Amino acid sequence: MTNKEKYQRAFRVLHASDRMMEVRKMKNTKRIYMKKFVPVVAAIVLAAGISSTAAYAADIGGIQRKVQIWIHGDMTNAVMDIQNGEYTLTYQDEKGKSHEIGGGGVAIDESGKERPLTEKELMEQLDMPDVECGEDGSMKVYYHNQVLDITDKFKDGVCYVKLTENGKNLYMTVKEDGSFGSSPHSYPDPDDFN
């Protein structure tokens, strides 16, 4: 996550007060009133910004650890930063170039309440297969140390891939646009995902 994204995330909770909106709607406002009002509003916004920044800074601790994950068929060392159900993964490729990817989400419990994904759920998400669409129109599936070229395997815009590892099967349905679904039980219906 870049610094810009971190600042945007920290300050997106700030909103103009109802009083500030009311002032914008006024048409016949005296300049003297505005000169006194603007510094007061600026002080309030600054105070709110400082308290939001402090709250965000306190949360920076999160969970950060070194992990080994499969990226494009290779076991790769990476640094994973987990905060509020989201992760940022930083790693270097074989040429020493640094890369950053992220993801995350929420889970919905039986009562319909949302909660951030746990560290275990995030790791499961990272352990899923990945589909990469090349600039030349090629398409590959990556799953652990397996790399499958599925470019010519599509029929009616859909490709079905069976992955096997340690005696366990994983069934994938891949669309030509790169979207896919996977299941350990059967091939997902292509209409069930974008």
pLDDT at residue 15 is higher than 80:
no
Q: What is the pTM of this model?
A: 0.57
**Which residue do the tokens 């300050």 mark?**
11
The span from the CA of 72 to the CA of 148, in Å, is: 10
SS3 state of residue 138: coil
The predicted-structure confidence for 92-114, as pLDDT tens digits, reads as follows: 888 889 988 888 888 888 888 99
The span from the CA of 22 to the CA of 56, in Å, is: 29
Q: Which backbone phi and psi does 94 adopt, to 5 degrees?
A: -65, -20
Residue ranges per structural domain of the chain: 3-59, 62-121, 128-194
Q: What is the end-to-end Cα distance of the chain in Å, rounded? A: 26
The span from the CA of 131 to the CA of 147, in Å, is: 10
The span from the CA of 108 to the CA of 121, in Å, is: 13
